């Protein structure tokens, strides 16, 4: 998944980086959350193939 200037967020465009969770690897991405997942942590969780969250998990 290649990000272009048009698809990157303004913040990522300024820093010159993106954080693609989904890559070309055929293996599934699993996110386990046991506490707060804010900002990029929440983004990684959203993009995962399988998400597991405890009762203490918080997302924003």
CA distances in angstroms from 7 to 1, 16, 23, 37, listed in the order given: 11, 13, 16, 23
Of the two residues 13 and 53, the one the predictor is more confident about is 53
Per-residue pLDDT tens for 3-44? 565 555 555 555 545 555 555 668 888 999 999 999 888 888
Query: Rounded to an integer, what is the distance from CA 49 to the centroid of its chain?
Result: 11
Q: What residue ranges do the domains of the chain occupy?
A: 10-21+28-59
């Amino acid at each position: 998944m290649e990000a272009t200037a048009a698809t990157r967020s303004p913040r990522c465009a300024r820093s010159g980086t993106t954080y693609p969770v989904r890559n070309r690897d055929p293996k599934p991405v699993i996110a386990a959350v046991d506490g707060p997942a804010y900002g990029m942590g929440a983004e990684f969780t959203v993009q995962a193939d399988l998400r597991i969250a405890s009762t203490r998990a918080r997302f924003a």
